[in-house]
């Protein structure tokens, strides 16, 4: 299999690699092993190392920039930045998705597979730690997170499934349902995709490492569609938005 060189990516970060194979491994999904007849030549071990460094740096930044917070809020703030969607967004911002290596057995789109992007982001940091040293890796992670952590506040824990059900039942007195679309990956790296459905119509899809995470992602997508179609009416309740959305899209109501 021919994969694009990682040199342009490293050059964009000002990295002159001592061992480019570390970065190649950090960007290699386990699906490549089957085709290449290799064993564990993927990002999983590097992910473990990078996860530790990211957690350390983000924890330090939370502590330094938010002296007003007690331990509980500091833990919540840190969790916001090391959760799957957050790390995946940083991976996309850094352009790592353009260099991910997958095998023929991999199904789906790398750009929307947040668990994979999270793993690649952490593995890339792990590769940098081994190749460039801890100071360089520390500085890189700090630069990625510092501005965002400094200006962050603790967010209320979201319950997209509950919010969507509330909006639907307020207008139509019926709950939404979730349908499993696919289940992929090895036993230790399952990835599920679910759709959220009401009255036979699909409102959104989402994926995650667990069925509950995939359902929540699908519900979030449905809520985003409601907001997008009624963004000029942002001061209205979710129930009103949902009612207006269905009126504007009668094909979604039977």
Active site (catalytic) residues = 51, 122
Pairing of strands 191-198, 201-208: antiparallel
User: How far is the C-alpha of 46 from the C-alpha of 31, rounded, in Å?
Assistant: 16
User: How far is the C-alpha of 210 from the C-alpha of 114, rounded, in Å?
Assistant: 12
The residues, ordered by sequence, that sit 6+ positions from 198 with a Cβ below 8 Å of its Cβ are 168, 172, 174, 176, 177, 252
- DSSP 3-state of 101: strand
114-132 and 84-93 helices, crossing angle to 10°: 60
User: How far is the C-alpha of 76 from the C-alpha of 72, rounded, in Å?
Assistant: 6
């Amino acid at each position: 299999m021919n994969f694009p060189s990682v040199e342009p990516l490293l050059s964009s970060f000002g990295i002159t690699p001592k061992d480019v194979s570390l970065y190649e491994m950090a960007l290699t999904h386990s699906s490549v092993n089957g085709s290449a007849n290799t064993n564990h030549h993927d990002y999983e071990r590097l992910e473990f190392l990078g996860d530790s460094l990211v957690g350390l740096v983000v924890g330090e930044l939370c502590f330094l920039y938010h002296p007003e917070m007690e331990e509980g809020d500091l833990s919540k703030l840190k969790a916001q930045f090391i959760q799957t969607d957050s790390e995946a967004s940083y991976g996309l911002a850094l352009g790592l998705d353009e260099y991910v290596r997958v095998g023929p057995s991999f199904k789906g789109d790398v750009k929307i597979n947040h668990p994979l992007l999270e793993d690649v982001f952490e593995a890339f940091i792990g590769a940098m730690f081994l190749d460039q040293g801890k100071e360089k890796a520390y500085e890189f992670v700090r630069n990625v997170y510092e501005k965002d952590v400094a200006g962050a506040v603790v967010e209320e824990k979201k319950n997209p499934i509950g919010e969507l059900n509330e909006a639907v039942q307020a207008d139509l007195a019926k709950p939404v349902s979730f349908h499993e679309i696919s289940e992929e990956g090895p036993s230790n790296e399952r990835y599920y995709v679910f759709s959220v459905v009401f009255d036979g119509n699909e409102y959104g899809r989402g994926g995650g490492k667990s069925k509950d995470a995939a359902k929540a992602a699908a519900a979030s997508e449905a809520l985003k569609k409601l907001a997008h179609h009624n963004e000029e009416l942002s001061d209205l309740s979710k129930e009103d938005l949902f009612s207006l959305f269905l009126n504007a899209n009668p094909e979604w109501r039977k």
